[in-house]
Structure 1
Amino acid sequence: MSMVYVRFRLDHPIFRETLRQVPEAELQWVRNTPTSTGSRLLFWASVEDGDAFRRAVADDPTVEEVVRTIPVDDRYLCQVELTESGTDTDLYPILLDTASVVRDATVTVDGWDCHFGFADSAAIARFFDTAREQGIDFEIDRVYEPRRSDDFDTGLTAAQREALVTALELGYFEVPRTEGLETLGEKLDISDTAASERIRRGTRSLITNVVLPDIESADELSGQ
């Protein structure tokens, strides 16, 4: 049986207060590391005001300690130690226990946009039953088993999809361009820098998940 993929949004308490303080920030999950006292979380942060973001994370009730914050180009690589309450609501151990995986998890002020691969239907049920028991609201967008012949996944988060569609509707991709990043940011209620970041990340996801596999398939068919 193949892995079952689920796209969904979680109203998770981890980083909720951070994003309320710095609503333009976008966090990209890298990994969780269980420790003897709880859990450490590594993630990328795309944010304009790094100082404001660090203060918000340090004051977040789900974060015990900011272990490190490393600037890399226009992002920050961050690692935090979760508090007891953060660890108690962390759903990652369920994925480990059920041989399931995180394909993508992006955190914005609207919540956690997740794309997970579950080992089977029992793993899905356990994950969402636990979320419900902990009072974590969720909304499932899509459940599917990928088939190379008739299905593919774009890899886009909901925020990236919204940014790309809005940009297309505004004429951002027209030649010459009819609207710029400032207008796009206003439409999405984010800064022009954050809008640019979503467009770039969304475009990268489309190339990685749609264009490259299509080229590889064509090469295989042609015998290259």
Structure 2
Amino acid sequence: MKSLRIAIRPNAELMAPEGNLAVAATGVDRHLILGGSVLDGTETTISYVEGAAEDVEPILESAPTVDEYDITPTDGGCFVYCRQELSESALTLFDAFFQDTIVVVPPYECRSDGSIRMTVVGSPSEVQAVLEEFPDAVDVDVLRVGDTVGGPASELSERQREAVAVAWDCGYYDVPRDRGIEAVAADLDCAVSTASDLLRRAESRLVANALDVRR
């Protein structure tokens, strides 16, 4: 099994404005598609949008392809249920994922730069096939290749996870900091230099995953 973290950038023909509310709606920071399905040319999704409902509703209300929507405001954002008709060209975007072993792991993160970031999991050959099957109208960047899909923490070694957990429990990450690296080393029963190295390597991996950058 291989996992692939990618950023795709469909052009305007493939992605209607309501498909990425982080681009279409002023004041929206991120549009997270939590799950959805496509049946008979209709896409149904549930999303969380980091932005005000009053910024989102005009976009959905005016979109000719949107058949139905419902917005539930929350602190700092809103949940959006949406059903919309997809064009023939937009449907070609999904063809790349129609491989026997492929699973696309939600959420899909739509960003204000027009990119959609997602994790694809499957056999090595079919993960590669996903990249080859995207239409020419889609730019694809490979952000990360791995063997795990359990999130950033699953990519840490057992000792690194232990060091981060000890540091958290002892107050190393408190603001202001309660205890220093010496306390972490004492709890881990190792040298200060060893504890520092474990935390730096773990933090480097976690930050790289949070920023979706290669390391």
Q: TM-score, normalised by structure 2?
A: 0.56
Match of 1:108 among 95, 111, 117: 111
Structure 1 pair 46–35 and aligned structure 2 pair: CA distance change class (3 A): same
Corresponding residue of 1:124: 127
**1:41 positional shift:** 1.6
What are the Cα deviations for residues 169-218 of structure 1, in whole angstroms up to 9, with x where unaligned?
xxxx9649xxxxxxxxxxxxxxxxxxxxxxxxxxxxx7xx9xxxxxxxxx
- Distance in 2 separating the partners of 1:147 and 1:69: 30
Match of 1:44 in 2: 48
Aligned-residue Cα RMSD (Å) equals 3.6
5+ residue gaps, structure 2, are 157-173, 178-205, 210-215
Q: Is the helix fraction higher in 1 or 2?
A: 1
Describe the SS at the equivalent of 2:148: coil
Name the structure 2 match of 1:35: 39
The answer to whether structure 1 residue 77 and structure 2 residue 79 are counterparts is yes
Over residues 22-59 of structure 1, what are the superposed CA-to-partner deviations in whole Å (9 max), with x where a residue is unaligned?
Answer: 254111111122223422121111103x2221112334
Q: Which moved more, 1:134-143 or 1:32-41?
A: 32-41
CA gap 1:65/1:93 in 2 versus in 1, 3 angstroms: farther
Q: 1:94 to 1:105 in 2, by over 3 A?
A: same
**2:7 paired residue among 6, 9, 21:** 9
Contact 1:58 1:66 in 2 (8 A): no
Alpha-carbon distance in 2 for matches of 1:97, 1:55: 39
Q: 8 Å contact 1:95–1:101 — kept in the other structure? A: no
Letter in 2 for 1:22: A
**Are 2:91 and 1:91 aligned?**
no
Structure having the higher Rg: 2
Equivalent residue pairs, number: 154
TM-score by length of 1: 0.54
Q: By how many angstroms is 1:84 displaced?
A: 2.6
Tell me if the contact between 2:47 and 2:80 (Cα under 8 Å) persists in the aligned partners. Answer: yes
SS, match of residue 58 in structure 1 = helix
Measured at CA, do residues 42 and 103 of structure 1 come closer, stay the same or move farther in structure 2, by a change above 3 Å?
closer
SS at match of 1:42: strand
How has the CA–CA distance of structure 1 residues 92 and 47 changed in structure 2, closer, same or farther, with 3 Å as cutoff? farther
